Structure 1
Amino acid sequence: MAALLLPLTILSLVTAGIVAVHNVSISLLDSAVARGAVCLDGTPPAYAYSPGFGDGVDNWHVFLQGGGWCHNVDNCLDRTRDPKGSSAKLMTEQNGVVSFGGMLDANSTLNPDFYNWHVFKIFYCDGSSLMSDVEDVDPKHNLTYRGARIYDAMMDELLRIGMGNAKNALLSGTSAGGLATTLHCDKFQSLFHNTTKVKCVSDSGFFVHGEHFMGADWREAYFFSVISTHGLTNMLPTSCTSKFSSTLCLFPENLVPDIQTPLFLIESAFDKYQISNNVFSPSDASPRWINCTSNLIFCNWSEIKIMKDTHS
């Protein structure tokens, strides 16, 4: 029953359109710099932590922020100019504070299952779903690809402040953070004793390859460029790369069957991001298709069929 409550709670809050938040200070993990666990621009990674209370003091929720990927040097360089690649930009734009809502909220009415848990949000600044670990810094652009080190440094910090004694632990994320959740789910589980109940939730992170559907070649080429840029070939789960190419092992459909930890997948029947960005390459998308994804009233029968096929 508890397993069923998790997705139902999330969906009910989203459906109701409830927005309630509390503000939490953003912190920099300066100790991560010595181990090379830094953002694309070399700044220390950032997190926001809200301690648990009441009967939630033994429960932990770790949330991985999303934000797509950078797939070439120029694209990654662009990200260093905003919070998706620089914690310095994050602190400036957010004024050192982030609002927690939804599953992160401390309001018992709006978030009855998780309101009093420890909440630890990891900000996304590496562009690789926390998977890259390239030793050399790009000498021309001063770019650092170290997402996996950021993940490890954050987990060490969580264990330092007490997460290892959790009775319940949840790893979740949205979009690219949802993919990161899928990729790290079993690794997250390995941090705990056998007595800890560990689960993962990937929200809007099931990016479809769909080799028999429109756009499969484009989607595969895009993820290939992400892997090449971030040096991910040897960083992906061997349970997948032993059967598929590394490119295909960024697609959850090829990852999920081998994950041992309970994993909940939340995906909209109409994922506008995937339909708008992953069916066609940006250069091929027609104005007609763009109008369709902006308002379903403008879709014809063939466009509706493409959307249904992609999410079937």
Structure 2
Amino acid sequence: MNPAGFGAPFLAVLFLLAAALRSLPLAGARLQVAMTVVRNASSVGAFCLDGSLPAYHLDRGFGAGAGNWLLQFEGGGWCNDVESCLERAKTRRGSTQLMNKWEDFNGILSNNASLNPDFYNWNRVKLRYCDGASFGGDALFHNGTSPLYFKGQKIWESIILDLLPKGLGTANKALLSGCSAGGLATFLHCEDFTNYLPRDATVKCLSDAGFFLDLQDIGSTHTMRGFFKDLVALQGMNPNLNENCTAASSNLPDLCIFPQHALKYIATPFFILNSAYDVYQFHHGLVPPSADIHGRWKHCKMNPAACSKQQIQQLQGLRSSMLSALKLFYQYSSKGGMFINSCFAHCQSESQNTWFAKGSPTIDNKTIAGTVGDWYFNRRNIKEIDCAYPCDSTCHNLIP
């Protein structure tokens, strides 16, 4: 039959249906999103370590989520001395020119309702990480030939300014999130983020594996404190730390880079997603190489089941330190949410296996995605804390 016989109205409906079908994500389809370089970033002094321009990846929202925005800071460690920053500037961690120009969007960034039920149709943005200081520095180092740009704060500002006219400036709902060093960036920029958005917008923040602890290692040394102190000094981060925290900690203002010291000064609703046995903090904070020169923790680090009773006891101390640092937030934050599980993991929101999938980690039969969604949309007030290792049987997608 000739479709022209149905007339213009039918053809118009057919065209709209075809367009709608094209906009729907296919189940199991791999979503790759192209890089957008912030071309006018130089006007605000925003550069990656090597002087290249900052960038992000944006996948547009659709349907009921077209007016909502999710921004995800990319993670990837830090550089806290000139030598390591010079090396970093020659890699994808310090230059957008060396990055993949397409990024996979999984987990909280997925556009598939069956894989990301609460945020799949939002505008989802991944902010590329190229400054080495959790988007928090503002300094410049000249070594004679190749300068190092410590401009994370400016990178953050340039990306936001680029997104505002693209719809972020009129957002109805927004969630600022990040993983690892990006999770720390969420603590640093949560309050600032709200200032860019409409007053009637619902704005909240989520840190995944970003609750880095100010704790002593097994050698009774504050290894992480020393590392972050050098980071703050080198990259000029002090002015960009929470000003209320630094005012109250005038003797040691650089400690405000630690979320446990800054959290009480963040008024925006906040969700903390973290493993109580975060593998980065286990390997670099509790048992850094400098505290284990004989390698007694080698097998334990590879497999917790190989840990001795004494090592397990020290790992339980790591969990206790985290819960102690979160105690006031747990007790008194009516707008805050938590999911502190006992899997040996680091970053769980960007991986589909841990965010929302068959066999993903749960607490009280609740997935991470379900818990975050319930908190964001006020379906219930959630602060979930898992029992201590090795009681959780849902960690099979991770280290046993």
Normalised to the residue count of structure 2, the TM-score between the two structures is 0.70
The amino acid of 2:240's aligned partner reads: M
The amino acid of 1:276's aligned partner reads: H
Give the drift of 1:21. 4.0
CA contact (8 A) 2:137 2:153 kept: yes
If asked which structure has higher relative contact order (CA below 8 Å, sep 6+), I would say 1
Q: Which residue does the alignment assign to 2:114? A: 109
2:223 paired with 1:218: yes
Q: How far apart, CA to CA, are the structure 2 residues paired with 1:20 and 1:247?
A: 44
1:231-271 superposed Cα distances (whole Å, 9 cap, x missing partner): 22222111111122122111100011110000100001221
The amino acid of 1:282's aligned partner reads: P
Distance of aligned partners of 1:151 and 1:225 in 2 relative to their CA distance in 1, 3 Å threshold: same
Q: How far apart, CA to CA, are the structure 2 residues paired with 1:288 and 1:259?
A: 40
Q: How far apart, CA to CA, are the structure 2 residues paired with 1:66 and 1:22?
A: 20
1:79-109 superposed Cα distances (whole Å, 9 cap, x missing partner): 112111000111xxx2x21110001000011
Give the drift of 1:280. 3.5
Distance of aligned partners of 1:97 and 1:204 in 2 relative to their CA distance in 1, 3 Å threshold: same
Q: Which residue does the alignment assign to 1:254? A: 261
Is the partner of 2:214 in helix, strand or coil?
A: coil
The amino acid of 1:162's aligned partner reads: G
Distance of aligned partners of 1:303 and 1:197 in 2 relative to their CA distance in 1, 3 Å threshold: same
Q: 2:166 aligns with which of 158, 161, 166?
A: 161
2:39 paired with 1:30: yes
The amino acid of 2:171's aligned partner reads: A
Rg: which structure is higher? Answer: 2
The amino acid of 1:71's aligned partner reads: N
Q: Which residue does the alignment assign to 1:305? A: 313
Q: How far apart, CA to CA, are the structure 1 residues paired with 2:275 and 2:141?
A: 39
Q: Which residue does the alignment assign to 2:148? A: 143
Q: How far apart, CA to CA, are the structure 1 residues paired with 2:283 and 2:141?
A: 35
Q: How far apart, CA to CA, are the structure 2 residues paired with 1:215 and 1:299?
A: 20
Within a 5 Å distance, the mapping from 1:236-275 to structure 2 comes to 236-244=241-249, 245-275=252-282
CA contact (8 A) 1:215 1:278 kept: no
Q: How far apart, CA to CA, are the structure 2 residues paired with 1:54 and 1:148?
A: 33
CA contact (8 A) 2:56 2:125 kept: yes
2:57 paired with 1:52: no
The amino acid of 2:208's aligned partner reads: D
The farther-off stretch of 295-304 and 59-68 is 295-304
Q: How far apart, CA to CA, are the structure 2 residues paired with 1:158 and 1:61?
A: 12
Is the partner of 1:308 in helix, strand or coil?
A: helix
Distance of aligned partners of 1:188 and 1:216 in 2 relative to their CA distance in 1, 3 Å threshold: farther
The farther-off stretch of 134-143 and 120-129 is 134-143
Give the drift of 1:115. 0.5
What is the aligned length? 291
1:210-242 superposed Cα distances (whole Å, 9 cap, x missing partner): 369865521111111111211222221111111
CA contact (8 A) 1:64 1:172 kept: yes
CA contact (8 A) 1:137 1:145 kept: no
Q: 1:284 aligns with which of 274, 278, 291?
A: 291
Q: How far apart, CA to CA, are the structure 2 residues paired with 1:174 and 1:27?
A: 20
The amino acid of 1:230's aligned partner reads: Q
2:76 paired with 1:63: no
Q: How far apart, CA to CA, are the structure 2 residues paired with 1:204 and 1:274?
A: 9
Within a 5 Å distance, the mapping from 1:160-199 to structure 2 comes to 160-199=165-204
Q: How far apart, CA to CA, are the structure 1 residues paired with 2:49 and 2:58?
A: 22
CA contact (8 A) 1:203 1:265 kept: yes
Is the partner of 1:253 in helix, strand or coil?
A: helix
Give the drift of 1:277. 0.9
Q: How far apart, CA to CA, are the structure 1 residues paired with 2:231 and 2:70?
A: 28
Normalised to the residue count of structure 1, the TM-score between the two structures is 0.89
Identity level (%): 37
The farther-off stretch of 99-108 and 238-247 is 238-247
Q: Which residue does the alignment assign to 2:84? A: 75
Give the drift of 1:34. 2.7
Give the drift of 1:137. 4.6
Give the drift of 1:121. 0.8
* Two-structure CA RMSD over aligned residues (Å): 1.9
Distance of aligned partners of 1:227 and 1:188 in 2 relative to their CA distance in 1, 3 Å threshold: same
CA contact (8 A) 1:129 1:147 kept: yes
Q: How far apart, CA to CA, are the structure 2 residues paired with 1:187 and 1:63?
A: 15
2:239 paired with 1:234: yes
Distance of aligned partners of 1:99 and 1:85 in 2 relative to their CA distance in 1, 3 Å threshold: same
Structure 2 unaligned regions, length at least 5: 1-27, 321-400
